């Protein structure tokens, strides 16, 4: 990916769960021809040459919860670095044998692993280990050794973003503030925590995206309940301006390649679109429900997205060639994947994945459809275009706190894993919480 985004996540129900959800979308080759869907409890679903194959989570370590996967080295798919709830792991044989990364990353809980778009052996790892200092670590040898940037955060790293327009520029938010690196994550300098007059707690601040053309422009969100504030900086984080408020937390934020069209999605509020680079925003008509993982395919304007088929989502993975006005389904359901990763039976991955079924619980009959959710239609129905109702332009009251006004209490809901990816849809076990939040938002909007 040209730009990498990851957000801190709550613990998921790991083990080989029958209801996986995608937490990240990765384009492993420079041309962006293939696409990988990283799931929280069932490993990696990779579309290669138009066909999906599956690397189960136990191939890395028993009951692994994947957070992100990055290919390293010159031959795509031969060497992989995987961030899991049990640490960071490396394979040199295409995913058939994994070993934990040692050295500086022993006994850490990673937030994720992030590649460089033009340097296949350069990667970053951010950590969120409880009860010990956390940092950003850089490797120049494909994950075989790491060195810390020296942040030594007393608390967890919450989000990290590599700028698409300048990959040497890396932004990070953490428990003590926000920072920027101009040398690929080796050294960080503190930047401003939010706009003037808005009292922002570090745990409220998350980076969203960088502009695809202007390396000095970066977007972030101040997450609060009931309204979050989306902010923009045009001087690489030295100053910020509030651009709009959202009655939710963003689940996706993506530019077109030119940086003119912008789409912001959320779980329960309307979608928001901009056609002038984010200067003004419109509330969009009802979109595809509960999608996330928004990623633009390198070198194109094709937008990819994921959804949770076990919680009202229409498909697992789909793409759009009209900037999310409509989607074409690529993976309707996990149980449509019939190919395994292709490791020999005697390898660790071959043994670990034997008898496990894509999209189904342990012990399921892989020859049967998943009874929990039938496959979705081949193509999702078109989404209506942007509606005419415009949000308040910059300079008018958008619900942002004045300098002498008290701010809303921070949103204490934990964010999901991977790139603004996993906030979009909760697993089935959290349905009561989702319904409660939805009811609260409806009540909030009832006329007084």
In order of their start, the domains of the chain are 4-363+375-444 (2.130.10.10)
Phi, psi of 125 (to 5 degrees): -130, 130
DSSP designation for 60: T
pLDDT at 444: 42
Q: Are 86 and 98 in contact, with CB atoms under 8 Å apart? A: no
pLDDT at 333: 94
Length of the chain: 448
Q: Which residues contact 75 (CB under 8 A, 6 or more apart)?
A: none
C-alpha to C-alpha distance for 80 and 142, rounded to whole angstroms: 8
pLDDT at 306: 95
Q: Which two tokens stand for residue 110?
A: 């990673």
pLDDT at 33: 75
DSSP designation for 402: P
How close are the terminal C-alpha atoms of the chain, in Å? 47
Q: Which two tokens stand for residue 22?
A: 């995608």
Phi, psi of 335 (to 5 degrees): -75, 0
pLDDT at 68: 95
Q: Which residues contact 172 (CB under 8 A, 6 or more apart)?
A: 126, 136, 151, 157, 159, 160, 161, 178, 179, 180, 181, 188, 207
C-alpha to C-alpha distance for 295 and 299, rounded to whole angstroms: 12
pLDDT at 282: 94
Q: Residues in the chain with pLDDT < 50?
A: 1-14, 370-448
pLDDT at 14: 47
SS3 104: helix
C-alpha to C-alpha distance for 418 and 292, rounded to whole angstroms: 11
* Short-list 401, 434, 416, 389, CA closest to 227: 401
């Amino acid at each position: 990916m040209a730009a990498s985004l990851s957000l801190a996540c709550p613990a998921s129900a790991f083990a080989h769960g029958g209801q996986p959800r995608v937490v990240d979308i990765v384009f492993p080759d420079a041309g962006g021809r293939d696409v990988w869907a990283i799931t929280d409890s069932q490993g990696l679903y990779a579309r290669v040459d138009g066909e999906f194959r599956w690397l189960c989570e136990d191939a890395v370590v028993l009951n692994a919860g994947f957070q992100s996967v990055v290919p390293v080295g010159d031959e795509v798919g031969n060497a992989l670095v995987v961030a899991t709830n049990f640490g960071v792991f490396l394979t040199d044989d295409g995913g058939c044998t994994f070993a934990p990364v040692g050295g500086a990353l022993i006994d850490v809980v990673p937030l994720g692993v992030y590649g460089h778009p033009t340097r296949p052996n350069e990667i970053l790892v951010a950590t969120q280990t409880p009860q010990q200092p956390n940092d950003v670590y850089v490797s120049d040898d494909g994950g075989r050794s790491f060195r810390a940037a020296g942040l030594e955060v007393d608390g967890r790293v919450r989000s990290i973003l590599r700028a698409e327009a300048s990959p040497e520029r890396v932004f990070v938010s953490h428990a003590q503030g926000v920072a920027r690196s101009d040398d690929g994550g080796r050294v960080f300098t503190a930047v401003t925590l939010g706009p003037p007059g808005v009292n922002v707690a570090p745990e409220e601040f998350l980076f969203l995206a960088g502009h695809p053309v202007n390396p000095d422009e970066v977007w972030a969100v101040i997450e609060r309940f009931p309204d979050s504030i989306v902010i923009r900086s045009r001087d690489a984080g030295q100053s910020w301006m509030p651009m709009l408020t959202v009655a939710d937390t963003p689940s996706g934020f993506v530019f077109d390649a030119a940086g003119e069209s912008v789409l912001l999605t959320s779980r329960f509020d309307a979608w928001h679109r901009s056609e002038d680079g984010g200067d003004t925003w419109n509330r969009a008509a009802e979109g595809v429900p509960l999608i996330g993982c928004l990623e633009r395919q390198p070198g194109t304007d094709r937008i990819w997205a994921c959804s949770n088929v076990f919680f009202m989502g229409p498909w697992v993975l789909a793409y759009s060639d009209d900037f999310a006005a409509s989607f074409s389904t690529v993976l309707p359901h996990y149980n449509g994947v019939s190919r395994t990763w292709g490791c020999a039976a005697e390898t660790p991955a071959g043994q670990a994945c034997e008898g496990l079924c894509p999209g189904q619980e342990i012990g399921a009959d892989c020859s049967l459809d998943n009874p929990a959710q039938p496959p979705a239609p081949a193509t999702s129905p078109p989404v209506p275009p942007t509606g005419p109702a415009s949000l308040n332009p910059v300079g008018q009251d958008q619900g942002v706190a004045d300098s002498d006004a008290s701010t809303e209490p921070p949103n204490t809901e934990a964010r999901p894993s991977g790139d603004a990816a996993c906030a979009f849809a909760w697993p089935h076990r959290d349905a009561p919480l989702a319904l409660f939040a939805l009811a609260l938002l409806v009540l909030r909007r009832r006329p007084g």
